[in-house]
Amino acid sequence: MQGEAQEQLVEQPVAGRSVEALWTGAKAGALLVALYMSLFHVSIVRGGSMSPGIHDGDRILVDQLGPLLGSVARGDIVVLRCPLDPRYDYIKRVVALPGETVEVRHGRVWIDGFELDEPYVERQDPRSALRMVVPDDSYFVMGDNRRHSSDSREFGVVAGEQLVGVVGVRLWPLERAGALP
- The pLDDT score that the predictor gives to residue 33 is 53
CA gap 130, 154 in Å, rounded: 10
Which of 79, 118, 114 is CA-nearest to residue 95?
118
Pairing mode, strands 138-142 and 158-159: antiparallel
Confirm whether 27 is a catalytic residue: no
Residue 56 has pLDDT above 60, yes or no: yes
Question: Going from the N-terminus, what domains does the chain have, and what CATH number goes with each?
Answer: 40-179 (2.10.109.10)
- Across the range 22-35, mean pLDDT stands at 61
Q: Choosing from 18, 49, 71, 138, which is the catalytic residue?
A: 49
Which of 97, 61, 73 is CA-nearest to residue 180?
61
Q: Kindly report the CA angle at 57 between 156 and 54, in degrees rounded to 5?
A: 55
pLDDT, one tens digit per residue, over 111-169 is 999 999 999 998 888 888 899 999 999 999 999 999 999 999 999 999 999 999 889 88
pLDDT, one tens digit per residue, over 69-100 is 667 999 999 999 998 898 999 999 999 999 99
Alpha helix positions (H), the chain: 14-39, 65-69, 152-155
Q: Which residues sit opposite 103 in a β-bridge?
A: 110, 131
Q: Choosing from 18, 92, 138, 152, which is the catalytic residue?
A: 92
- Across the range 174-179, mean pLDDT stands at 87
Residue 15: burial class (beta carbons within 10 Å; 0-12, 13-18, 19+):
exposed
Q: Which amino acid is at 118?
A: E
